[in-house]
Amino acid sequence: MLPKAKELLGALPLRFEPNHGQLPPAVRFSARAGDLRVFLTAREALLRFPGISAPETIRISLVGANPSPRVEGAGPLASRSNYFLGNRRADWRLGVPHYRAVRYAAVYPGIDLVFYGAAQGLEYDFVLQPGADPGRIRMRFRGVQRLSLTPEGDLRLRAGGRELVQKTPLVYQPQAGSAARREIRCRYRLLGRGVVGVELARYDRSLPVIIDPVLVYGSFLGTSADEVITGIKVDDSGMVYVAGSISSGDITPPGGTYQESPAGGRDVFIAKLDPALSGPESLVYFTYLGGTGDDAPTCLTLDSAGSVYVAGSTASSDFPLAGSPAQNTPGGAADAFVAKLDPRIAGPFSLNYSTYLGGSEADIAYGIDVDAAGAIYVAGSTRSENLPRSSSPLQDGRWGEQDGFVAKLDLNASSVVYSTYLGGEVRDEARAVVVVSPDRIWVAGHTFSAIFPASANAFQPAYQGGGDIFLTQLDLGRPGYDALLYSTFLGGTGDDEVRRMVLDPTGRVLLTGFTLSDNFPVTPDAFQPAPHGMGTVFLARLDPNSEDRPALTYATYLGGSGGEVAYDIAADAQENVYLAGYTLSRDFPVTGDAFQPTYGGGVNVFCTRLNLAAPPAQALVYSTYIGQAGISVARGIAVAPDGVIYLAGYAQDRGFPVTDNAYQSTYVGGLSDGFVVGLPPPAPAPADAPVNATSRP
């Protein structure tokens, strides 16, 4: 379904032009991307690219197909082409339109063929109406020296000095009366003499068969300097929000923004994207936020009204402040900050409020959450002895060289309602916070302190060594040590670090990050009960509703032999858990329907969906690499209401995949560009077949 030449990765998306006389009469549409030329006639598609001594051409035709199908452009674009042919104006072809796709109607009875383009090159889908026979499809490839199938079932084409790989088709059917869909297994069949067919598993012939695109949305968001996206959220309408740091003013806000240009150093940026729109129109909101020093966000969250809350660190003495800040001057050289923005408001009033939060030494916020009343909860690390704190905190002073901290601000960030240190005798940092109910929160982080406060009913009451995770529940409405409801260590004898925490829909705590321990506590139903290398992802679930203590109800390793880190996690009501980060492993567990089933080299993004209710052999619902030989790291993951999985992070990779509706389709360069990628929801496994997943330990 998806022929891709590796050399074409990173090329501009294909845009199809009808033939208005600028090409030979047999050509209906043409397209160009980099060194690839595509010519579509009534009976075949020609792919032409430079060869060693002469251009190479692959011709794709359909055996036994309608010789005169209706061929028409689909998805008109705003751009146009002009051809000034010769000296006579009558020969010029002006305003030739562009289209996203070309549809061949009824190439076989009830079957349409659609060609379209993305940064990966030319793609084409067969769309079958109810009752259509997929066995009629016969593709003949000419101009290739060899056709073969890979062990994964992909079609490999050898042409001249190039190899193209056409991925195994991903096929599904919508289920009547619901948003669910049923995946259909499909494989290629080599029929001889350059002819390839497709074979589908059993399916409902009364419903249409849909070939799902492998990438819903993919865009860079960067400049020639350095950009890193550190968080992503999606609202109920499918709008995507990201926050990150930026070193250049090359991105032009779409208008009505708070801060139109950076103030110096590295600045925060907040962006809102509409994946349903294309190009510049998809950037709905963008603002810089920062002063003359370095400013960077570490976390963001949304409320139900679509307001964005962001926190991080600032070294600016002139960080932008709004409202009535709880702290209107910096406490030291580097402070935490908290800000709330409303992208729906035009102009400078989109910054509802912002404040410093810190003492005379280095302070940074790593986690943020908001309760139903709009109060803000922040967790981070501090080296300050004079951190702003409330009366009767859990811990009144800093014990070690660095402690964690927890703070609650009122709904306008105009006062610190509660603030406490949280740590032991060595070094600690709070990395994540989630609200259970007003004043009741979970805090997770990393500790090297053997006397970190643990409760009597802790799952692991003692420090395991090497650096452990801590998980603590606090009731900020209680005074002093009474605020500590539960606290436990979690880890093995190596270094274990949490990067993100969420609650699943039933209120259970989900943690992820990485572990260097070969004895991290795992449960009997773990998908991967042992590590395969030095440094791997962990996933842990603890249940606060157990009778005597939050029991470890699920824990597993996830990774290969090269090492990986998970930076973010999401969950849904069907006990699916979504993880994203980076991997260095050639043998990271992936599924057969992966967008990118093989390691691209360098540092690759991974995106994995596990179902914790399934037996271990069926727990891996979906898993894929994303990225080529550069560096690509996912720092955030969010699942949209329609099931689309969005990832965000940064890439030093010109071959990173983008779609033709991208805000920014090319890698600009510098140290790194931000990226946003949307993957389609994994289709449910067929009822008559096992889950299509391959674990590669």
User: What are the residue boundaries of the structural domains of the chain, listed by start?
Assistant: 2-211, 492-644+680-697
Of 565, 594, 581, nearest to 696 (Cα)?
594
CB 456 within 8 A of CB 430: no
- Residue 695's pLDDT is what? 30
For residue 266, count CB atoms less than 10 angstroms from its CB and return exposed for 0-12, middle for 13-18, buried for 19 or more.
buried
Instruction: Quote helix, strand, coil % in the chain, to nearest 5.
Output: 5, 50, 45
Bridge partners for 221 per DSSP: 674
DSSP 395-415: --S--SSBEEEEEEE-TTS-S
State how far the Cα of 9 lies from the Cα of 335, in Å rounded to an integer.
42
- Residue 76's pLDDT is what? 80
Phi, psi torsion values for 205, nearest 5 degrees: -75, -5
State how far the Cα of 658 lies from the Cα of 283, in Å rounded to an integer.
15
Q: Which long-range contacts (CB under 8 A, 24 or more apart) does 452-457 make?
A: 452/423, 452/424, 452/428, 452/487, 452/489, 453/394, 453/395, 453/422, 453/424, 453/484, 453/487, 454/487, 454/488, 454/489, 455/484, 455/485, 455/486, 455/487, 455/488, 457/486, 457/548, 457/549
Per-residue pLDDT tens digits for 119-146: 445 677 888 888 888 889 999 988 888 8
Question: 538 in helix, strand or coil?
Answer: strand
CA distances from 145 to 58, 138, 149 (A): 10, 19, 14
Per-residue pLDDT, averaged over 168-191, amounts to: 71
- Residue given tokens 């990067």 in the structure block: 499
> Which of the residue ranges 365-374, 394-403, 462-471, 665-674 would you say has the lowest mean pLDDT?
665-674
Per-residue pLDDT tens digits for 71-98: 998 878 777 777 776 777 777 878 888 8
All residues at 6 or more sequence positions from 241 whose CB lies less than 8 Å from its CB, including other chains: 232, 233, 234, 235, 270, 271, 272, 273, 300, 302, 308, 343
**Confidence band, pLDDT 50/70/90 cuts, at residue 310:** very high
State how far the Cα of 597 lies from the Cα of 158, in Å rounded to an integer.
20
pTM above 0.75, yes or no: no
Length reported for the chain: 697
State how far the Cα of 437 lies from the Cα of 414, in Å rounded to an integer.
21
Per-residue pLDDT at 317 exceeds 90: yes
CA distances from 241 to 233, 234, 269, 505 (A): 5, 6, 11, 22
Per-residue pLDDT, averaged over 408-430, amounts to: 96
